[in-house]
Structure 1
Amino acid sequence: MKAIVITSPGGPEVLQLQDVEDPSIRDDEVLIQVAATALNRADVGQRLGSYPPPKGASPYPGLECSGTILAVGSSVHRWKPGDQVCALLSGGGYAEKVAVPEGQVLPVPEGVSLRDAGALPEVVCTVWSTVFMMSRLSPGESFLIHGGSSGIGTFAIQIAKHLGVRVFVTAGNEEKLAACKNLGADVCINYKTEDFVARIKEETGGKGGSTLMMLSSQLASVWYDISVWCFDAGVDVILDNVGGPYLQRNLDSLNIGGRLFLIGFVGGAVTEVNLAPLLIKRLTVQAAGLRSRSPENKAEIVKEVEKHVWPAIAAGKVKPVIYKSLPLSEAAEGHRLMESSIHIGKILLIP
């Protein structure tokens, strides 16, 4: 088969289409003829050499795909050759064929084309597992998505609105903000021209001010004075892939009992932060990747996604947002496009 090979760590030009061996399948796996795969920021990290695939995973990039099953392992019972599916991968999507554990395979949702389904598994599983399974975002709460026009963001806006959540987003230009608004976002903030903390406080009933509280605690005969800014309001859940530069502002933007979930560090992983808001506002900070999770954990997430998200897609409440489709041979151009950050939604590669 043909696959995109990373010839060495570097720029998009290191992505080369080459002839490689067909994947073999284990007893619990299926072999998929890929109809489409989608680009993710993690693919850029792998290309640069900073995000290697997990042990035992395909060396080729690509964390999701759609296609037709060609063969199944001896212990696979749900799927059969000819089934049209999409799948969450640990790697290997940038290829004509890929092997994947059966627990990470989903039927193509009703109302979605086989190709467009390739844009769903990674973003859907990421958002559902972090925002809903772990951070417990619930109807009536408020939710901030940084990068609302991204693949992650465009899905998160739609599913949150469908479930009765008030949605805030940040984005970097008016075109992206308009796209987020059209998808259902309630409050759209240009992070280049606005202070998103102040805007969130204003929109959630805060006065934009603060109260300085001095707390003293005795530990091992040492007194600590902690200065804490206690804000009046904020959102309940934040999904962030910026990391360090946003950490303090994210904490300041959360309501009492708020939850921050980190899924990336595109702005850097190191920062200095005042931890006092965690204590005063009873905040929770979590972080997790998806790629390195066990097959069992991924299968659990996929099962929950099929149960809770697929009906919303079938009902037309959530749709994949596709920015552009390119031939697999133009994977380098796809990476250049992704790194330019001009896109809205997902970029597909078609073998």
Structure 2
Amino acid sequence: WASNQGLLGRQGTFAEYAAVDECWLYPTPERVSQREAAAMGLVGITAHLGLFRDARIQPGQSLFVHGGSGGVGSAVVQMAKAVGARVITPAGSEAKAEACRQLGADVVVNYHTADVDEAIRQFAPHGLDIWWETLREQDFERIVGHLALRGRIIVMAGRDAKPSFPVGPFYVKDCSLHGFAMFNAPPETQRKCAEDINRWMTEGKLRAKIARVMPLSETAAAHRLQEENTLQSAGTLAGKIVLEP
């Protein structure tokens, strides 16, 4: 099977050609570039699953997301705004803060110069509806303390983390915790995500956050750059790396 049509999917990374079951491929709109499609596939589906399947986000609800200028975080910010939610996110530099504002975040807090917890309390005096955690080491005491009644926590990182958990404050507020890996979602679920992603990208409500475009021959260097930021928190990458042949 072959096609010259643009396709969105997550298999075949680092390959010029790939054989993929068609159930995992989704047509991309004509006005969406191959770079954007490549950068949005994994992070977009991840954001969609967490926000709509697990967090059940609704218009007007409040959301905190770590890493609003990153790959997944930027998709979370834009999708939440696309459905009328309110978003607050921290940033470590003015450049990243401005990037989050451009994505639509209602409040951006520079955690080097301002009190993030106080900003959250002002943003959501009655507590947050959703806390999207991207950090590999979670502080659930802090998170649960900021949640509203029936607040939801979304966790998608920290495979080796073993944090303490405030069971009492968590259950008396009817809160819920959702951990997930997008790779476990069946093809029909991911296809529904892709349909919304395509529509929002066509409407200009969703843009891929591309931090770096590198040639395929520099794959090793791209891995080092990604690992420096994912594992060592270098802070030198805001968005996705796209490799091109």
| Shared fold, TM over 0.5 | yes
Aligned partners of 2:189 and 2:137: how far apart in 1?
A: 27
Q: Deviations over 1:95-124 (max 9, x none)?
A: 222222212111123421123211111011
State the Cα RMSD in Å.
1.8
Give the secondary structure class of the aligned counterpart of 2:96. Answer: helix
Alignment coverage as a number of residue pairs:
239
Aligned partners of 2:95 and 2:3: how far apart in 1?
A: 43
1:324 corresponding residue in structure 2: 212
1:105 corresponding residue in structure 2: 25
Structure 1: give runs of 5+ residues left out of the alignment.
1-71, 73-79, 206-232
Q: Determine which of 315, 324, 332 is the counterpart of 2:203.
A: 315
1:133 corresponding residue in structure 2: 53
Instruction: Tell me if 1:88 matches 2:10.
Output: yes
* 1:200–1:270 Cα change, 3 Å: same
Equivalent position amino acid for 1:275 in 2:
V
Give the secondary structure class of the aligned counterpart of 1:236. Answer: strand
CA positional deviation for 1:81: 2.6
* 1:193–1:271 Cα change, 3 Å: farther
Contact 2:144–2:166 (8 Å) recurs in 1: no
Q: Determine which of 112, 115, 139 is the counterpart of 1:246.
A: 139
Aligned partners of 1:282 and 1:245: how far apart in 2?
A: 20
Q: Deviations over 1:236-274 (max 9, x none)?
A: 1111121444222111121111100100018x6112232
Q: Deviations over 1:120-140 (max 9, x none)?
A: 110111011111112101111
Instruction: Tell me if 1:277 matches 2:169.
Output: yes
Instruction: Tell me if 1:302 matches 2:190.
Output: yes
* 1:273–1:194 Cα change, 3 Å: farther
Structure 2: give runs of 5+ residues left out of the alignment.
229-233
Equivalent position amino acid for 1:272 in 2:
S
Question: Taking CA–CA contacts closer than 8 Å with sequence separation of 6 or more, which of the two structures ends up with the larger relative contact order?
Answer: 2
Superposed, 1:31-50 pairs within 5 Å as none
Identity of aligned residues (%): 32
Contact 1:149–1:179 (8 Å) recurs in 2: yes
CA positional deviation for 1:302: 2.3
Equivalent position amino acid for 1:319 in 2:
R
Aligned partners of 1:85 and 1:346: how far apart in 2?
A: 18
2:38 corresponding residue in structure 1: 118
Aligned partners of 1:257 and 1:245: how far apart in 2?
A: 19
CA positional deviation for 1:163: 1.0
Instruction: Tell me if 1:350 matches 2:244.
Output: yes
Segment drifting more, 276-285 vs 305-314: 305-314
| Structure of greater Rg | 1
Q: Deviations over 1:298-333 (max 9, x none)?
A: 312322123322211111111112121001111222
1:36 corresponding residue in structure 2: none
Instruction: Tell me if 1:334 matches 2:227.
Output: no
More helix by share: 2
CA positional deviation for 1:194: 3.9
* 1:306–1:271 Cα change, 3 Å: closer
Contact 2:70–2:209 (8 Å) recurs in 1: no
- TM-score relative to the length of structure 2: 0.90
Contact 1:103–1:298 (8 Å) recurs in 2: no
Equivalent position amino acid for 1:147 in 2:
G
Superposed, 1:1-351 pairs within 5 Å as 72=1, 80-89=2-11, 92-205=12-125, 233-265=126-158, 269-291=161-183, 293=184, 297-338=185-226, 339=228, 340-351=234-245
Contact 2:65–2:134 (8 Å) recurs in 1: no
Give the secondary structure class of the aligned counterpart of 2:3. Answer: coil
Contact 1:105–1:302 (8 Å) recurs in 2: no
Segment drifting more, 315-324 vs 191-200: 191-200
Contact 1:109–1:117 (8 Å) recurs in 2: no
Equivalent position amino acid for 2:39 in 1:
A
Q: Deviations over 1:51-87 (max 9, x none)?
A: xxxxxxxxxxxxxxxxxxxxx2xxxxxxx53222121
Aligned partners of 1:119 and 1:88: how far apart in 2?
A: 10
Equivalent position amino acid for 2:130 in 1:
V
